[in-house]
Amino acid sequence: MNTIVNSLQDFLNTIVHWLPKLVGALLILLIGYIIAKSVEGVVKKLLKKAKFDQLVTKGTAGSYVRRVISSPAALLGSILFWVLWLAFFVDRSNGTWSACTYQLY
């Protein structure tokens, strides 16, 4: 009986020490998502103001671009979002995530 109680106590201690790290990692990912979305919006607006879509869709190659994507500015903004979001995610996988999972094994 004492072994079961000790095992349960060890399990609860592990969870109690692991939970704040998980919450911290999720908070950083949320902040990263908000930053990436904000940068995406700013880039899209700046490229639209600079008439990037019209510049890219002009000329001979422009007809091919129009067939593939409706808005090159939106595409670049989305690519930038994913690059930033993945950078935050990879940063967390090398830091807090590995510290969280290490204690579970």
- Nearest residue to 80 (alpha-carbon basis) of 47, 37, 32: 37
- H or E element that contains 23: helix 2-49
For 40-79, the pLDDT digits (tens) are: 999 999 999 999 988 888 878 888 888 888 889 999 999 9
Indicate the burial class of 40 (C-beta count within 10 angstroms; 0-12, 13-18, 19 or more).
buried
pLDDT of residue 93: 61
The answer to whether the predicted template modeling score (pTM) of the entire model surpasses 0.75 is: no
pLDDT of residue 48: 92
Reading the block at residue 1, the tokens are 């009986």
For 11-44, the pLDDT digits (tens) are: 888 888 888 888 887 888 888 899 999 999 999 9
> What ranges do the domains of the chain cover?
33-105
Task: Judge whether 80 and 39 are in contact, CB under 8 Å.
Answer: yes
Query: Which sign, positive or negative, has the C-alpha torsion 67, 72, 78, 80?
Result: positive
pLDDT of residue 101: 47
pLDDT of 99 strictly over 60: no
pLDDT of residue 91: 63
pLDDT of residue 38: 95
